[in-house]
Amino acid sequence: MPKPRLTYGTVLREIRRQHFAVLSTSSPTGQPASAGITYGVSDSDSTIYVMTRRHLQKARNIAANPHVSLVIPTPRRLLWFVPPATIQLTGHAEIISWTDQEGTRVFSQFWLGRQILDNYRSLHARGDTRIAFLRIELDPSIHTYMIDTPVWRVRNNMEAGASTVIRSR
C-alpha cells in the first residue's frame, strides 16, 4: 500500500500547533550548541521568531554564524510511550530589536508568547538592555519523521516515516 503524500499544509499546521523547538547553532570555532526555545510563526509561514537576550550562547553564536537548524517534536496524546514525531527545519537567523512589530505581534498570538513578552518587558523596565528577537528565515525544504504517518507503517520499515516537503515561494 503506497504511503499518502505529506503536504506542506499539513506540516505547517503542525509547526503552528507547537511552540517548542530545539534550536541548534554553532560557535565561531564550529562548536555545536542546542537550546530548547519557545517560538512563534509569522503569517508569511517562512519566518520564525524567538525571544532571547543578546548575551546568551544562542545569540552570540548566531551573531558569528547565522546558519541554524530546529527540531520541533510533536508529542502523541494517545501513544505517549512512542517517541514524538519530528519536524526538522534549517534557516538563517538574525538578531533584531525586541520591539520589532512583527515579532511582538507573533508572540502576542499565543498564551506562552504573551507571558514571555510580559517577562521581557518587566526585565526592560528594570534596566535590561540585552533583550532581542531572533528572526529565522526558513529554508524551503522541510524534513519530517512520522508526521501524519501511522506507527504501524514504520514498524517493519523505519524509513517509511521520513518525508520532505517544499514550501513554494
What is the C-alpha to C-alpha distance for residues 114 and 147, in angstroms, rounded to an integer?
Answer: 28
> Comparing 55 with 77, which gets the higher pLDDT?
55
Q: What is the pLDDT of residue 2?
A: 52
Q: Taking residues 63-73, what's their average pLDDT?
A: 97
Task: Tell the residue number behind the cell numbers 528594570, with chain if given.
Answer: 126
- What pLDDT does 150 receive? 76
Contact 72, 40 (CB under 8 A): no
**Close Cβ partners of 54 (under 8 Å, ≥ 6 residues apart):** 60, 95, 130, 131, 132
Q: Compute the average pLDDT of residues 87-91.
A: 97
Record the pTM: 0.91
Selected residue with higher pLDDT from 160 and 82: 160
Report whether pLDDT(16) > 90.
yes
CB atoms under 10 Å from CB of 4, counted, come to 11
The whole-number pLDDT of residue 124 equals: 97
pLDDT grade, residue 96 (50/70/90)? very high
Looking at every residue in the chain, the average pLDDT score rounds to 92
The whole-number pLDDT of residue 169 equals 61
Q: Quick one: angle between helices 111-125 and 101-108, nearest 10?
A: 130
pLDDT digits (tens, 9 = 90+) for 105-150: 999 999 999 999 999 999 999 999 999 999 999 999 999 998 888 7
pLDDT at 80 over 70: no
Which domains are present in the chain? 8-166 (2.30.110.10)
Q: Which residues contact 157 (CB under 8 A, 6 or more apart)?
A: none
